[in-house]
A and B are shown apart, each in its own frame.
Chain A
Amino acid sequence: MTTNPEHHLVWDWTVRLVHWLMVILVLLLWWTAEEGMMDWHKRCGLTMLGLVTFRIIWGFAGSWTARFTPMVRRLGSLRSYVRDLKNGSHKPVFGHGPLGILSVFALLGALSVQVGTGLFSVDVDGLESGPLAIWVSFSTGRDIADFHELNFDILSTLISLHVVAILVYQFILKDNLIPPMVTGKRPSSDFAASSVPSIKAGFWAFVLSSGVAVGSVYAVLNAG
């Protein structure tokens, strides 16, 4: 890192922005569904489609701490990581720890399923439906809607686990993960200095990710 030697950038602004927008949108989507505000539920759902698409492409083309391949490679240290947790010898990790990586895949997977099923869902009266429901029959759309509801339980369980995990890290393991997800930075003293890679992503990676994200929303809107 060149700029500020006292802090390392762990999460770039896109990861942070996407993360917190997802938080807001999950709450909005939940609320609009409960209140039956389907127009807004659909708008928020399409926005979420864009965010999830962006994050998945960013997971291949984006910054180092956001990318999936290094995450998969780091899963190998899961066993020793958990052993350290149990021993009380936990040390902060640059980027996602192995448990956090499992959480990323589970949350992103559940979110993708949620957005995907929402596109094809049909409500019980056959009046409200997702933008791609035109391609499925009423009863298939109903089955998908039931799955959409079931998967929300899975998703909200995973989110609760995620929040509990963050609190456990903060209060029990004394590893405060929230400020870095806001500012992106962590004190360099948290890490063994030699092991910190630069996470800078190229401008074209951003163009590609946002292009595909906008494109996916546009395609869905024009599919009907």
Chain B
Amino acid sequence: MLNRKIGLLCTSVAGVVLLSACGQSGDSEAASEATSDAGATVLANGMTVAEQIKLRHDTLEDIGDALKGAGDQLKSGSPDMAVIQAAAASVVEKSTGMEDWFPEGTGPDSGVETDALAVIWEDKPDFLTKVSDMQGAAAKFSEAAQGGDAAAIGGAMKELGGTCKACHDKYRKDDD
């Protein structure tokens, strides 16, 4: 009786471990398959699907980098305005043209690993509105940075962060 119950417990634990292992390996298999052959299709802008996806990923990461750099300054007791201004200008520059980063065929169906969700292309007008909201907020953030008032910069940065989040919540695959 006791043996059986402990055995049952061990089996269920093993089951949970196995299940999570399956989930993981399934994901990575799909990803490695994808990089080998998919994504070679050339888009209207001359880039391959894989290149487009990589470029937008890297550029968004640069934007994250710049925002974090500005945020780190604001958090420190004595923010370096020059660093914040450069970061803000870079966010504006990097986000220019974002509306063109998501051409048809660069979604998850492309076979290339991407966190972009298919809903982007199902509701493109809303997606584009959110992109333009972000660009507008970035411009305001840069203006505030030029002003040099830490509180105003912080406020503008929060606004900007809200536009990042609005898009990520709806159109980006959650990490887990």
CB neighbours (8 Å) of B176 from chain A are 149
Q: Are B172 and A134 in contact (CB under 8 A)?
A: no
Q: How many A-B residue pairs have CB under 8 A?
A: 75
Q: Which one of B16, B67, B69, B76 contacts A125 once the chains associate, using CB atoms below 8 Å? A: B67
Q: Are B175 and A149 in contact (CB under 8 A)?
A: yes
Q: Which one of B5, B16, B64, B76 contacts A126 once the chains associate, using CB atoms below 8 Å? A: B64
CB neighbours (8 Å) of B67 from chain A are 125-127, 138
Also in contact, A142 and B64, with CB within 8 A (given A127-B161, A164-B9): yes
For the residues of A in contact with B, the DSSP-based class is helix
For the residues of B in contact with A, the DSSP-based class is helix
Q: Which one of B2, B6, B20, B64 contacts A124 once the chains associate, using CB atoms below 8 Å? A: B64
Scan residues 136-152 of chain A and give those whose CB is less than 8 A from a CB of chain B: 137-139, 141-142, 145-146, 149
Interface size on B, residues (CB 8 A): 29
CB neighbours (8 Å) of A146 from chain B are 175
Complex Cα–Cα for A193 and B98 (A): 74
Q: Are A124 and B172 in contact (CB under 8 A)?
A: yes
Closest chain A residue to B70 by CB distance?
A: A126
Q: Is B81 an interface residue (CB 8 A)?
A: no
Q: Are B2 and A88 in contact (CB under 8 A)?
A: yes
CB neighbours (8 Å) of A39 from chain B are none
Complex Cα–Cα for A85 and B176 (A): 37
Q: Are B75 and A124 in contact (CB under 8 A)?
A: no
Complex Cα–Cα for A88 and B157 (A): 63
Q: Are A126 and B71 in contact (CB under 8 A)?
A: yes
Also in contact, A126 and B2, with CB within 8 A (given A134-B76, A139-B61, A149-B175): no
CB neighbours (8 Å) of A153 from chain B are 20
Pairs A–B under 8 Å by Cβ, sample size 20: A86-B2, A86-B6, A122-B64, A124-B64, A125-B161, A125-B164, A125-B165, A125-B168, A126-B64, A127-B71, A127-B158, A133-B72, A134-B72, A137-B68, A139-B64, A139-B65, A141-B68, A142-B61, A172-B2, A224-B76
Given contacts A124-B164, A139-B65, 13 further A-B contacts (CB under 8 A): A86-B6, A122-B68, A126-B68, A126-B71, A127-B71, A127-B157, A133-B68, A133-B72, A137-B68, A138-B67, A168-B5, A168-B6, A172-B2
List the 9 closest A-B pairs by CB distance, nearest first.
Answer: A126-B67, A126-B64, A125-B164, A127-B161, A138-B65, A126-B68, A138-B68, A134-B72, A138-B64
